[in-house]
Chain A
């Protein structure tokens, strides 16, 4: 494949996989939130906060998209920097592709986060006092996405 294809794939997969995972995560937690609110509308606030947690992975994906785009020259003008199909350009493109893939794959943590948040919505509906604990449980899944973003930034900065 041409270097630009790898860079474009890196951008697309970073934002795409993380975004899709976020949507699944929010969907799972959202369904639980709907169930909790259907029984008692007082659950709305807590359910909304827990439902929103898996959304952050898509933000990391978007940040990565911009960072890759800027590093490769696609965003901000100046044209694509690695257009020549040389080994060096191919490696640089592959690194950017890897950065995007890293954020995309670690962004998949939004799905288990949605599942944890979903169980958390149920637990908080039963006992609102457990809100903070359930928030922390769900936030734990976020760590992997943060590691992914940090890893991607290191990869991008290496160029």
Chain B
């Protein structure tokens, strides 16, 4: 072979190999590096999740004061120790605020390309606050008791609480996405239920749009997460509406699109005779096993059982995804769900302690309520 031929072959090989290697290396680094820090941090936080043994010990606290003291060395310590007057409401609030702190931390440490999702999850607090305040105002209840003192719109929420009339609230919410649904509510074009749904519909749509705009495994994980959130809400809405005897035409308006359940399944559930028949429609879906596990409770009218079962399913599914994609947003979402479940357990224990339930009974109940 000619010398020039050898060098030409070598140079071309070199160029091809390097282009390919540079592309692949860049791709791998871009994909995984941003998750390295946050995921290790979250895993370290997971080590501090309360063990079953610890939960049982907390069930033996006997007084709310002891309960708070026993949690001082946990992730809830900073929020709980800052309570001036230890009562159930303040303890529950401190636990809720610890979840808000967690979301804020996620916004700080997660990679830029998924940070927006956690900001949107934080917006859920605003939706909950505004919806609760409006409902409380309409029912003449003290709105202050129904809010979490957090969220981007907290100043507006506080102003709404102080407002004397609904028109004043409309002025406060002017220019926000909450203005239009409230206007419709005041003009009696929609019911309170539909107003609340409208807020959640907007919220879930935003989450769905964000998840859809991502790429690769982020899209897969975020979309599955959002779809399960929507499914939980739709199933719960349908079953509750069926138990309340709501006509299918009205119920149809309350369905949120974007979940993993097909339109046919949702239609069949909406048109089912009663909640038991509606549950039956879920048999062929991915929630079939979830339903079978709580069927008796559901048929007896305990709709909370399905919400609880779907939450557990969601956590299991996210854990699977986090194991499959160890350096991904799945780890953070799993941890958030784990903490939410833990907070539910802690709130239940606190409530049972205040109600004077014996520790043995609390231990029995805490697994069921969470």
Contacts and interface: CB of A to CB of B under 8 A. Distances in A.
A85 B17 CA distance: 25
Contacts, number: 102
Given A97-B10, A122-B326, A39 B36 contact: no
A159 interface: no
Contacts of A123: 43
A55 B306 CA distance: 51
B244 interface: no
Interface string A98-124: 000100010010011001001101110
Determine which residue in B37, B38, B326 has the highest number of CB atoms from chain A within 10 A of its CB, and name it: B37
A118 B32 contact: yes
B28 A35 contact: no
B304 interface: no
B25 A35 contact: no
Interface stretch (B1-9, B95-103, B231-239): B1-9
Nearest to A32: B40
Contacts of B6: 87, 90-91, 94
B252 interface: no
Nearest to B35: A118
Interface in B14-58: 14, 17, 21, 25, 28-29, 32-33, 36-48
A125 B25 contact: no
B114 to A, nearest CB: 16
What is the size category of the interface that chain B forms with chain A? Answer: 20 to 34
Given A36-B41, A112-B28, A31 B36 contact: yes
B25 A32 contact: no
Determine which residue in B6, B14, B39, B45 has the highest number of CB atoms from chain A within 10 A of its CB, and name it: B39
A109 B43 CA distance: 25
A81 interface: no
Interface stretch (A22-30, A62-70, A140-148, A150-158): A22-30
Given A90-B3, A108-B21, A122-B39, A39 B45 contact: yes
Contacts of A17: 21
Contact of A35 (B1, B10, B32, B38): B38
A100 to B, nearest CB: 11
Nearest first, the 5 A-B pairs at minimum CB distance are A122-B43, A39-B44, A35-B41, A32-B40, A35-B40
Given A34-B37, A105-B21, A111-B29, A125 B7 contact: no
B47 A32 contact: no
B327 interface: yes
A45 interface: no
A118 B42 CA distance: 12
A149 interface: no
Interface in A27-73: 27-29, 31-36, 38-40, 43, 47
B296 interface: no
8 contacts: A35-B37, A87-B1, A90-B6, A105-B17, A108-B21, A115-B32, A122-B39, A126-B47
